[in-house]
Structure 1
Amino acid sequence: MEKLTLEEGTFAVKFARTVIESYLTGEDTILVDFPEKFNEPRGVFVSLHTYPEHNLRGCIGIPEPVMPLIDALKEASISAAVNDPRFPAVNLDELDEIVIEVSILTIPKLVEVEDPAEYLEKIKIGRDGLVIECETCRGLLLPQVPVEFDWDVAQYLSNLCLKAGLPPNTWLERKVNIYSFQAQVFEEVMPNSQVVEKIMYGSC
C-alpha cells in the first residue's frame, strides 16, 4: 500500500475539518477534486483533541478498507465529532480549540503465535496498532496510544483487552485472535494550522 505524502496527509486533515464544520452548520461537503489515492479503499481513524491540553475529545474510525478513503474519512470525521458515545457532541464554537488527527491504516494482519508469551516479542510499541477478537468481543487501539501512555507490550495488551470489554489478562488465558496494523498519522500543530506527520508510528 503506497504511503501518503505530507501534502496528501495535509489534505486529509483539512478535509476532516471541513466535513465537521459543514455538518455542524447543516451543510453537505461537496468535493470534486481530491488526490487519486483517496479513491482507494483504506482504513482510517479521526481523532479530536483539545488544545493545548491534548485531551481526547472524540475518536471514531473504520478499521477495514471497505470503502474509498475519501468516503471513509468523511464518515469517520462526522462520527468522531458527534457519535463517540464517550463524549457529548462537539459544537461549532469548540472547533477553534480542537486539534484534528487522521490515521491512515494498513490492513490488519493476524499475529500468529503458538504460546501467548510470544506476543511480547512480536508486537512492537510505536509500530503496531492492535485489534483483539474473542468470541463476540472486539477492541482496537491505534499505535500512538501506547506511546502516549508509556505502556510496555504487556500493558498494551491488557488495555487492549479492557477496550474490548474483557478482563485484562484475557490475552494470556483464553483463545483470542490479535491482529496488528500500522498507520500514517497526520495532525495539526495547532487548531486549523500546519499539519505534520508523526512518522514514528510506522508506514503504509
Structure 2
Amino acid sequence: MHSTEPRIGRNAEQTYEDPQRASLIETASRSIAHGLEHGSPLTVEPDDYPEPLREPRATFVTLHIARDLRGCIGVLEPRRPLVVDVAQNAFAAAFEDPRFPRLRKQEFGRLAIQISVLSPAEPIDFQSETELLNRIRPGRDGLILRAGRHRGTFLPSVWEQIPDPTEFLEHLKRKAGLPFGYWSADIEILRYTTESFGSTSV
C-alpha cells in the first residue's frame, strides 16, 4: 500500500499540523497527475484551504523514485500562496526540471514527494572563507550563494550527502557555475531553514 503519511525531515521544525501537511502532499500529487492528463499544473483556489496554507511562502518540491532523484524545483522568495506554490513546483519538478525527461505515467505510482517550506533568507556576515565556514550550521542551514551573475542554492537536506562544511560550500560553488577553490570579496551567502515533510510514494 502506498503511504501518504507526512514524515518530518531531519531538520524540520513543525509549524504545520499533520492534516495541513497531508493536504499539501495531496495537492502536489494531484498537480502531477493533472500534468500527466492535461499538460498543465492543477489550478488551486487558496480560499478552499485553511489560512496557514494561504499565506505566501517559498517552497521546493523534490521527487524521488526508489531514493533516486527524479526532479526538484522551487523558489527562494515567497510570491504566491503556499498551496499554490506547492502545486506549481510539483508540476515543474515532474515536467520541467532540465536534468530529467518529463515524468511518464508509469512512473507516477512510484514517486515519493518531499515538500520543503523555506524560512525567509538572512545574510551571513563574514570577512573570509574561514569565518564563513565557522558560521555555517551543518545539518540546519540551507545556503544561497551569489557572486556576480552566478547563483546557486542547496537545501538543508543536502547535508545528508555532503556533511562536511568545506565540501558543502565547494559543491555549492560548482552548482553556481564557479570553479572549486573560487573566492572573492564579492561573494554573498544567505541562509535559511526548511520545514520538510513528504510521502514514501503517491
Is the pair's TM-score, using the shorter chain for normalization, greater than 0.5? yes
Which runs of no fewer than 5 residues in structure 1 stay unpaired? 193-204
Query: Contact between 1:22 and 1:29, CA under 8 Å: does it hold in 2?
Result: no
Distance in 1 (CA, whole Å) between partners of 2:18 and 2:131 is: 35
Count of aligned pairs: 187
Give the structure 2 partner of residue 18 of structure 1.
30
- Partner residue of 2:197 out of 186, 194, 197: 186
Aligned pair 1:153/2:168, yes or no? no
Alignment pair present for 1:97 and 2:107: no
TM-score (norm 1): 0.86
Q: Report the secondary structure of 1:25's partner residue.
A: helix
Question: Which of structures 1 and 2 has the larger relative contact order (alpha carbons within 8 angstroms, sep 6+)?
Answer: 2
1:30 Cα offset (Å) = 4.8
Q: Which moved more, 1:178-187 or 1:115-124?
A: 115-124
Decide whether aligned partners of structure 1 residues 150 and 140 sit closer, same or farther in structure 2, where only a CA change above 3 A counts.
Answer: closer
Which residue in the other structure is 2:62 paired with? 47
Q: Which one of the candidate residues 151, 155, 160 is aligned to 1:142?
A: 155
Note if contact 1:42-1:67 (Cα within 8 Å) is conserved in structure 2. Answer: yes
C-alpha separation between the residues in 1 aligned to 2:129 and 2:145? Answer: 13
Answering whether residue 51 of structure 2 is matched by residue 36 of structure 1, we say yes
SS of residue paired to 2:73: strand
User: TM-score of the superposition, structure 2-length normalised?
Assistant: 0.86
Q: Which runs of 5+ in 2 are unaligned?
A: 1-13
Moved over 6 A (4+): none
Question: Is this contact kept in 1: 2:57–2:77, CA < 8 A?
Answer: yes
Alignment match of 2:180 (pick from 168, 189, 203): 168
CA deviation after TM superposition for structure 1 residue 174, in Å: 4.5
